[in-house]
């Protein structure tokens, strides 16, 4: 009877250790998952911040370029003439190879 009681107590002790290890692994996994998720969110935030900065730079560049072009005379549309295609009737005539003398 003592032997059975000892085995049962041993089983419960092992079960308790297993449960403790299981909870430890779950907490460790949760912590690792949390840290990984946080790293990804920080990376995304950095990417979004970079994109926003680029958008602002391009918008400022576009405004400045538009202001400069609007004030420049050389790009006024009335200064340009439409392109007219010129067709030439001259065609290249095929040349006959020269004959060598006494050939």
Q: pLDDT 10s digit of each residue in the chain, 103 long?
A: 888 889 889 888 998 898 988 889 888 888 888 989 889 888 888 888 888 888 999 999 999 998 888 877 776 667 677 778 777 665 666 666 666 666 5
pTM of the model: 0.40
Tokens of 31: 């912590």
- In degrees and rounded to multiples of 5, residue 26 shows phi and psi of -65, -45
* Integer Cα distance of 55 and 22 in angstroms: 49
Contact 68, 74 (CB under 8 A): no
Tokens of 98: 């020269």
> CA of 42: how far to CAs of 3, 68, 99, in Å?
58, 39, 81
* Integer Cα distance of 16 and 67 in angstroms: 76
């Amino acid at each position: 009877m003592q032997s059975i009681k000892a085995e049962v107590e041993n089983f419960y002790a092992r079960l308790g250790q297993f449960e403790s290890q299981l909870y430890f692994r779950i907490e460790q996994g949760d912590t690792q998952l949390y840290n990984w998720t946080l790293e990804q969110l920080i990376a995304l935030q950095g990417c979004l911040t970079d994109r926003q900065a680029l958008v602002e730079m391009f918008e400022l560049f576009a405004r400045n370029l538009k202001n400069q072009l609007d004030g420049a005379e050389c790009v006024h549309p009335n200064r340009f003439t439409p392109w007219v295609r010129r067709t030439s009737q001259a065609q290249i005539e095929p040349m006959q190879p020269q004959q060598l003398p006494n050939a």
